Structure 1
Amino acid sequence: MKADLALDMSSSISIEEEDALYKKVILRIVPLFFIGFILSYLDRVNISFAKLQMAADFGLTNASFAVGASVFFWGYMLFEIPSNLVLQKVGARAWIARIMITWGIVSMLMIFSRSEPVFYSLRFLLGVCEAGFVPGVMYYTNTWLPSKRQSGMYSLFLMALPIAVVLGAPISGAILESMNGVVGIKGWQWLFILEGLPSVVLGVVILLLLRNKPSDVKWLTDSEKRIIETNVAREAAHKSHRVADAFKSGKVYALIVVMVLFNTGFYGLTFWMPTLFRNSGIDNSFHVGLYTAIPFGAAAFCMFFNAKKAERSGRMRLHGMVPVLLASIGLFLATLFHDQFWFSLAMLTMAASGILSLMPIYWTLPGRVLSGSAAAAGLALINSCGSLSGVLGSLIIGYSGIQVGMYILSAFLLLCGMLFYLVCPAKTA
């Protein structure tokens, strides 16, 4: 009877009222996780800037850097699924806070990377600590919003990635230039300290402010809570719920391949872009940061507007496939004309924009087929296996060279676009 009443309330609410309700939810959820995504990404890739000084400090070669950049993802992959299953049991508030506090601490410990073994060990431990954050956030949002309302919110979350570069690249460059030698600490060490500490602080804030489910919050009325829970429950009735279902689903494995392909392009581009600009003759680390920020600043706008247009039209396939194919073309042309700086920069901007525009569209797809324990395991499985791209992206370029590596990444993105066409429905309701 209670469920029928909730269903009646949900069906009687106007579209405008429901839009206003979900806007309120998004305004409460997005800011904390948005900052979390920025800090997560900074703590993951600030190594690409630290390398500019670490190479001279203890002889870090391109190959050693590639191994160190990739070993993070081995720890991340191994602990991703267990972390998300624990989150489902203990609740998002405590577990996401734990993830952030521990990764911030380990990021600061990177200042002790004075040899390759220590460098590799701390990078691996950072991956272990950060495991579960992204799929944990995705699982958490699945308990609040139906999948048809997720692409816009995911675009806001994922805008943190390019914004992290836009803000973090010049800030990282400035720290390297201005803090080097202050109180006897190297610039690259200050980089890890100053970009790791905020993660610890935000972890404490999340522990204080976040609530596990709609029924726990005080900023929704009882009727609003029932509408949210009913909409999620109605959609969940048509999804797989058991953990085993996630491992048996062919759709999940197809989504894993898609993610590996586009994320390999993304991480390859991100890890090596500062080195690419340094090799073009830009010696000042701050200027390297500014040039690195340009492609990702444009990508932030493209990602948001593409996701909103896809959400309004329901044409997810079109708005996912076209950007990633443009990214493939952009990366190919940027590599082919690498000696023409401004044209190459424009093509790198197109590549970054295309890859990032696919991401929020992509992350709506797992929630269309999985729910409950299956969603927790499936999202973790996808993100864990997708983390292989972090290994591939850094190693492909580290060992084959930047030019050949970029051609390989371009081919990955082309294949990604074709496969995405097959796995994504042409239009969603």
Structure 2
Amino acid sequence: MQPVSYAAAAEPSPDLTQRTVDTLYRRIGLRLLPLLALSYMLAYMDRVNISFAKAQMQTQLGLSESVYGFAAGVFFIGYVIFEVPSNLLLAKIGARRTLSRIMVLWGIASASMLFVREAHTFYVLRFLLGAFEAGFGPGLLFYLTLWYGPERRARVMAYLLLASPVAGIIGGPLSTLIMSSLDSAAGLAGWQWLFLVEGVPCVLIGVLLFFVLDDSPQQARWLTAADKELIAQQVSAGGPARHAGLAGVVRDWRVYALSFSYFCMISGLYAISFWLPTLLRAVGVTRPMAVGLLAALPYIAAVVTMVLVAIHSDRRREQRWHSSISCLIAAVLLFVTASNLHNVAFALPALIAATGAIYAGYTVFWAIPANYLKGAAAAGGMAFINSVGLTGGFVSPLIIGGIKDMTGSLQLGLSVIAVLLAVGAIALACNRVDSGR
């Protein structure tokens, strides 16, 4: 007897159909999201763990603030150069091979950071880390668009991107624990152990991805034919996307405007990520373990705001205003932080709230291009937006590090980043990409 497809079933009740969809997506979520979120969390930890290694590396290697700022940012140059080719390759050869290859190579590069002895080696390894990791973030987001329809995307992307603040919550205490407990073991400094311990698991998880991921729902043996048909219906719901090919993307000014807004957003996000331990020391927190523990608080706030804003965005089926207003709030709070760096009672709560707001805007943002683009346009277009945006991760550490070297203070650099974040939020609010006009 042939299985009855969902499409051919005789007039199922709306409640029954919705329960069927919800049950299917619970299975999909349990199958995909834990491993993908773990992978994304490790990516974020390897990207920003130099913020915790910074103090030891500067003391032992004699690195200036400008050297640190350039090394933190040069990661994004490698990432940007190889981002679009990596995602186009994903669309051709599939997620399984692409994501596995990316993870194994960046794990090797991250662990190799223990060999840094001077600035040039520092720069080269950070560049390679970015080049090898290129395409991973937007690749995961594109992969989710193959499984989830428009009405679920903001929420499921929020669940995946929650891995970033969770990495911040775990990363601070874990990094300080590794450096303090393993310092001088086997002749290696604490910061060297940090890169080794946090790099090797990425290689192992990368190998695991190759064996457990399916390139698409249609290739998943654990789904029935009826399941696959229902997923296809969900993914295609909401009407056709604005672009299905790359040619339309490169001629669309709205895609460039989205890229600019994302650049401003990333400038603010990584200003916090790369300088959070330094900011905490600037407001008077000096003990290493206290820095590690307090560094978790902004990311705890981010977890809460990401979930709440994403759920509200999905219920209202609106992303642009949710993202832009969140980023504008973050800009104001970041300016408050910069203006009160020597007053912990004002600076620390403002910094915590700013982190929560910017992560909320960042999460909802990605549902906008996911709904606007389709097929090759989604893979290449999301990679292009991410590439342009991530140059903000290169620019903001340079701005803050350079200004700090010149003035001895973080205040002016943070204020510049706050203004940039506000400009990006206003540009996003004015970009009526969701209306198509």
Task: Give TM-score, length-normalised by structure 1.
Answer: 0.94
Q: Does 1:326 align with 2:329?
A: yes
Separation in 2, partners of 1:284, 1:36:
31
Report the more deviating stretch, 297-306 or 237-246.
Answer: 237-246
Contact 1:174 1:285 in 2 (8 A): no
Q: Does 1:373 align with 2:349?
A: no
The offset of 1:10, in angstroms, is 11
The offset of 1:6, in angstroms, is 6.8
What is the CA deviation profile of residues 159-202 of structure 1, one whole-angstrom value per residue up to 9, with x for unaligned ones? 11111011001111112222110111000000000111111111
Separation in 2, partners of 1:427, 1:135:
23
Q: Does 1:413 align with 2:421?
A: yes
The offset of 1:265, in angstroms, is 0.3
Contact 1:236 1:371 in 2 (8 A): no
Report the more deviating stretch, 318-327 or 397-406.
Answer: 318-327
Q: Measured at CA, do residues 400 and 10 of structure 1 come closer, stay the same or move farther in structure 2, by a change above 3 Å?
A: farther
The offset of 1:427, in angstroms, is 9.1
For 1:50, the aligned partner's letter is A
Separation in 2, partners of 1:11, 1:62:
66
Separation in 2, partners of 1:80, 1:427:
28
- Of residues 91, 94, 98, the one that matches 1:95 is 98
Separation in 2, partners of 1:297, 1:63:
30
- Of residues 219, 227, 232, the one that matches 1:229 is 232
The residue that corresponds to 1:423 in the other structure is: 431
Q: Does 1:196 align with 2:199?
A: yes
Q: Does 1:84 align with 2:92?
A: no
Contact 1:323 1:358 in 2 (8 A): yes
What is the CA deviation profile of residues 241-270 of structure 1, one whole-angstrom value per residue up to 9, with x for unaligned ones? 222222112221111011001110000111
Contact 1:43 1:196 in 2 (8 A): yes
The residue that corresponds to 1:145 in the other structure is: 148
Separation in 2, partners of 1:96, 1:10:
41
Aligned residues: 424
What is the CA deviation profile of residues 126-154 of structure 1, one whole-angstrom value per residue up to 9, with x for unaligned ones? 01100010111111111111222101011
- Of residues 28, 32, 47, the one that matches 1:25 is 28
Separation in 2, partners of 1:426, 1:371:
14
SS state at 1:365 partner: helix
Task: Give TM-score, length-normalised by structure 2.
Answer: 0.93
Separation in 2, partners of 1:89, 1:313:
34
Separation in 1, partners of 2:261, 2:29:
27
Separation in 1, partners of 2:192, 2:343:
34
Separation in 1, partners of 2:233, 2:11:
10
Q: Measured at CA, do residues 231 and 8 of structure 1 come closer, stay the same or move farther in structure 2, by a change above 3 Å?
A: farther
Q: Measured at CA, do residues 16 and 392 of structure 1 come closer, stay the same or move farther in structure 2, by a change above 3 Å?
A: same
**RMSD (Å) for aligned C-alpha atoms:** 2.0
Separation in 2, partners of 1:198, 1:118:
23
Separation in 2, partners of 1:210, 1:418:
39
The residue that corresponds to 1:120 in the other structure is: 123
Q: Does 1:256 align with 2:264?
A: no
Report the more deviating stretch, 153-162 or 273-282.
Answer: 273-282
Q: Does 1:207 align with 2:210?
A: yes
Q: Does 1:297 align with 2:300?
A: yes
Alignment of 1:4-403 (within 5 A): 14-233=17-236, 237-401=240-404, 402-403=410-411
For 1:229, the aligned partner's letter is A
Separation in 2, partners of 1:427, 1:297:
34
What is the CA deviation profile of residues 302-361 of structure 1, one whole-angstrom value per residue up to 9, with x for unaligned ones? 111111121112243342233222211211111111111132110001100010001221
SS state at 2:105 partner: helix
SS state at 1:387 partner: helix
Separation in 1, partners of 2:211, 2:200:
18
For 2:123, the aligned partner's letter is Y
Separation in 1, partners of 2:372, 2:6:
23
The offset of 1:227, in angstroms, is 1.2
Separation in 2, partners of 1:284, 1:119:
26
Q: Measured at CA, do residues 382 and 207 of structure 1 come closer, stay the same or move farther in structure 2, by a change above 3 Å?
A: same
Task: Calculate percent identity across the aligned residue pairs.
Answer: 36
The offset of 1:204, in angstroms, is 1.2
| Unaligned ranges ≥5, structure 1 | none
For 1:33, the aligned partner's letter is L
Q: Measured at CA, do residues 318 and 378 of structure 1 come closer, stay the same or move farther in structure 2, by a change above 3 Å?
A: closer
For 1:170, the aligned partner's letter is P
Report the more deviating stretch, 15-24 or 322-331.
Answer: 15-24
The residue that corresponds to 2:407 in the other structure is: none
The offset of 1:300, in angstroms, is 0.8
Separation in 2, partners of 1:396, 1:41:
21
